[in-house]
Structure 1
Amino acid sequence: MGIFAKLSGGTTPNSTRLIGIALMLAAMGLFAFGDALGKLVVASYSVGQLLLLRAAAGLIVLSPLIWRQRAAFTSLERPWLQAARIGVATLEVAAFFLATRYLPLADVITYYLASSLFVTVGSALFLGERIGRARLIAILVGFGGVVIALQPSAETVSWPALIALVASVAFAALLLITRSLRQTPDMVLASQQFVGTFALGAVLVPSGWTTPSVPDLSLFAIAGAVSALGLLCVNRSLRIAPASVVVPFQYSMIIWGVVFGYLIFGDWPTPTMWVGMSIIIAAGLAIIAIEQRERRAAGEAAQR
């Protein structure tokens, strides 16, 4: 684990940002790989079993850091909001893997990309942040991309697609709550997410337990381990580089999703999914660019 502590940045601001970008790209690859393994095992095992064993592996990987920061768990800010965050995070993970059981990995990740749009709307509704005309246009365009990807009609709308969309909304809610818990250490937040999914998995497993073979058990373990490592990469990336620099690279996850979906499952996005995916990415990047422009303008105004 010491390697993450040593990655405190390079010798220059540019090298620090490059390290942050590299960590974010690595995190997206790890998340997509872990999601692909999860999709692979839920074809033969229940979602509850995946949640249980994946969370157990993640907690084992994080245990040295959890022990080192154990004092932080004794005085948490706003316990009820912490509990709500655990519930939302658990719903998000369960819905994601349930959707991957029926849909191609890249399709589910596409719906996830819409979470940045939901976060922007939620920030205005619940955090009092101003949207502005430019961001509102970007949000509407992004929702258009979601509609194109979803292909809503009586014949094409499916429950798995709606479940994936619910997972995206839950993920956006998770990000909004996390914004409100800025004083809580990253390790506490990360471990809480695994504890929540472990608890739900423990509840669901008795009704659908299948004793895994050794090779399959290793897939469960790897899925949890790479997800934990991905969280560490994201946290370190955001710690050493500005969020406005590294966040746009989260969209690289769709590339990994297409690659792993094709190599492991032989899935390839449909033309309409490609169009919807491209629109969602463009809208998300536009929102990030607008936020950067507003931040620079505010900084220049403060210096006058």
Structure 2
Amino acid sequence: MTRLAAAHHPLTAAAMVLTAMATMGLIDNYVRVIAETTGLWQFHVIRSSMCLALLAIYARLTGAQLRPRRWRPVVARSAIMSVALVTYFGALVLLPISEVIAGLFTAPIWVLLLSAMFFGKSLGRVRIVAVLAGFIGVMLVLRPDTGSLTWLTVLPLLSGVLYALAQIATREWCAGETALTLLFAFFAALGLWGLVGLAGLSLFPQPVPEGAVGFPWRLWGQMSAAAWVWTVAQALGSMFAVGLIIRAYQSAEASFVAVFEYALLIFAVFWGYVLLGQTVDGWALTGIAVIVGSGAVMVLRDRGAATATPPAPAMPEAATGPEAR
């Protein structure tokens, strides 16, 4: 099958990812409120149902197409992404959160490696250094306890690999799909995993600790009013943020876009300070500075390359403009 040509708008892609990270950093601060009275799999089913319903209504009102142009790439991408996130949530149950997040944030490194190994992308030393510097910044912020590493540590690393592959697939396999189509497929896959989790807990009930600690093991909790409010906020915010991330990966090379996802840590720290008064130490501030620096290097490098390279001739009947979607 011939892949449709992909657009290349790196600065727009960077802006979209940063906006998405700011949104996710805000709403994720309140997952603990949801977790107090809700089950993890219940949350996935309810949030996905809300998102799918809203996307279907939007498509009906605007005449937008939800059906994929090519089913197999979209299904494959959604399956990989959903397994990545389910693995991530499973790791949260078994490992310290800093180790799990650090594992997921290896994704930009895997994007570099997979892009070069399987998609023939030329990476360049500057891009490699920027991604590695960003990861070092993440380590300075999180500082995972290396003394507690076990074989289970492979779980967050696996989630990072799968997440990276799914984001590469967004551009390499699904460049001709609309963001709405990929968004619908993504939430459908997460909703199915929610149903699988509920079925598993129904067949094999687990002891459920009180409060947020019982989040992964709770079958179907009696959600508080606050939990409902923040679940709705999660549905709206995640649709907006994930939609932006999809468009970003369709708009620029995955190895460029991936480094800007490190900004999630920056926004999580920022919102934690603004909303909860949480402060960070000097090491974390240094890490944040390194992350910001790595993103700035990527933007300046790409802008310089765009200035030095003459524009390519227009392709007839291009399939990537808004009118073609």
Structure 1 residues 220, 158: CA separation in 2 closer, same or farther (over 3 Å shift)? farther
Q: CA deviation at 1:184?
A: 0.8
Contact 1:46–1:209 (CA under 8 A) maintained in structure 2: yes
Are the aligned partners of 2:34 and 2:227 in contact in 1 as well (CA < 8 Å)? yes
Greater shift in the superposed pair: 179-188 or 225-234: 225-234
Change (3 A) 1:116 1:27: same
Larger deviation: 210-219 or 22-31? 22-31
Query: Are 1:126 and 2:91 an aligned pair?
Result: no
Structure 1: gaps of 5 or more residues:
1-17
1:175 corresponding residue in structure 2: 167
Shift in Å at residue 165 of structure 1? 4.9
Corresponding position: 1:282 with 2:293? yes
Equivalenced residue count is: 285
Tell me the percent identity: 23
Match of 1:10 in 2: none
Q: What's the CA shift for 1:262?
A: 4.0
CA distance in 1, matches of 2:263, 2:48: 24
Once residues 64 and 46 of structure 1 are traced to their aligned partners in structure 2, the CA distance between those partners, rounded to angstroms, is 27
Aligned to 2:203: none
Normalised to the residue count of structure 2, the TM-score between the two structures is: 0.66
TM, length-normalised to structure 1: 0.70
Secondary structure in 2 matching 1:205:
helix
Give the partner amino acid of 1:226: G
3-state SS of the aligned residue for 2:147? coil
Q: What is the aligned partner in structure 1 of residue 310 from structure 2?
A: 299
Change (3 A) 1:25 1:298: closer
Name the CA distance, whole Å, in 2 between partners of 1:54 and 1:258. 25
TM-superposition CA deviations, 1:251-284 (whole Å, max 9, x none): 6543431133345666544544444444344334
- Answer yes or no: is the 8 Å Cα contact 2:130–2:295 preserved in 1: yes
Correspondence for 2:83: 91
Report how far residue 199 of structure 1 moved: 0.7
Q: Shift of residue 192 of structure 1? A: 0.9
- What is the CA distance between 1:86 and its match in structure 2? 0.9
Q: Distance in 1 between matches of 2:271 and 2:138?
A: 22
**Backbone CA RMSD of aligned residues:** 4.5
1:49 to 1:268, Cα distance in 2 relative to 1, 3 A: farther
Amino acid in structure 1 at the alignment position of 2:60: W
Contact in 2 for aligned 1:38/1:97 (Cα 8 Å): no
Q: Which of 236, 239, 248 is the equivalent residue of 1:228?
A: 239
C-alpha distance 260-252 of structure 1, shift in aligned 2 (>3 A)? same
- Choose between structure 1 and 2: higher helix proportion: 1
Q: Quick one: distance in 2 between partners of 1:161 and 1:29?
A: 28
Quote the residue 2:35 is aligned against: 42
Distance 1:98 1:273, change over 3 A: farther
Q: Residues 249 and 165 of structure 1: is their aligned pair in 2 closer, same or farther, counting only changes over 3 Å?
A: same
